[in-house]
């Protein structure tokens, strides 16, 4: 029968021991064939106010070999970014922000960028949905804005520049981290 001293020693030893590693469940493929890698909210910080712009999620058909934003951006697999607008956004402003984001990631094909951003011309309304998807087989990135005809742009380089907006040289690196938070 253990004595009080033995129990006290056991408690001290357990308290000093490193925590046991808890195995997390592996990421599972959804019924649509995609792995959901994470979610986040795009927040614009003004001087004293933080404004929520859109909620966004990221999915991909296959997972990269390493858990990094760079790996997610570079991998040539079917993937998508899905947004839900949390407020209205003007078209000219939105297009300008995204043009700047392409430039920040070293992409400058004005014709492709202009075509891709054209569905944003009328702006976006609160609760409107946007899906940016990439089809690896055709090397095509498609922008589908709810209520507007979708636009497709070809090229692996264009997809990488587009994903770079969130996973590359981004003005909101924490959002990219949130979008891969479920990767192990």
Taking all residues of the chain, what is their mean pLDDT, rounded to a whole number? 89
Q: List all residues 6 or more positions away from 176 whose beta carbon is below 8 Å from its beta carbon.
A: 69, 166, 167, 170
Angstrom distances, CA of residue 25 to CA of 15, 22, 62, 148, 184: 26, 9, 17, 39, 9
How much is the pLDDT for 184?
76
Q: List all residues 6 or more positions away from 156 whose beta carbon is below 8 Å from its beta carbon.
A: 76, 139
Please compute the mean of the pLDDT values over residues 111-123 and round it to a whole number. 97
pLDDT tens sequence across 1-28 = 554 443 343 333 334 444 433 345 678 9
Angstrom distances, CA of residue 19 to CA of 24, 43, 74, 83, 145: 14, 35, 35, 38, 47
Q: What is the pTM of this model?
A: 0.85
Q: Structural domain boundaries of the chain?
A: 27-179
Check: CATH 3.50.70.10 for 27-179?
yes
Please compute the mean of the pLDDT values over residues 89-107 and round it to a whole number. 96
As given in the structure block, the two tokens for residue 118 are: 């054209």
User: Which among 145, 85, 89 has a CA at the least distance from the CA of 117?
Assistant: 145
Please compute the mean of the pLDDT values over residues 67-78 and round it to a whole number. 97
Please compute the mean of the pLDDT values over residues 129-139 and round it to a whole number. 98
């Amino acid at each position: 029968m253990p004595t009080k001293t033995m129990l006290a020693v056991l408690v001290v030893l357990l308290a000093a021991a490193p925590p046991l590693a808890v195995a997390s469940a592996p990421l599972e493929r959804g019924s649509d064939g995609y792995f959901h890698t994470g979610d986040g909210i795009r927040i614009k910080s003004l001087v004293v106010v933080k404004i929520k712009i859109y909620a966004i999620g990221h999915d991909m058909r296959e997972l990269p070999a390493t858990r990094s934003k760079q790996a997610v951006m570079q991998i040539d697999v079917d993937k998508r970014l899905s947004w839900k607008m949390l407020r209205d956004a003007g078209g000219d402003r939105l297009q300008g922000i995204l043009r700047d984001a392409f430039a920040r990631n070293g992409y400058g094909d004005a014709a492709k960028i202009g075509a891709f951003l054209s569905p944003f011309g009328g702006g976006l309304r609160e609760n409107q949905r946007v899906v940016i998807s990439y089809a690896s087989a055709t090397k095509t990135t498609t922008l589908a804005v709810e209520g507007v005809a979708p636009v497709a742009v070809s090229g692996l380089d264009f997809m990488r520049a587009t994903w770079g907006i969130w996973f590359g040289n981004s003005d909101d690196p924490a959002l990219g981290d949130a979008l891969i938070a479920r990767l192990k």
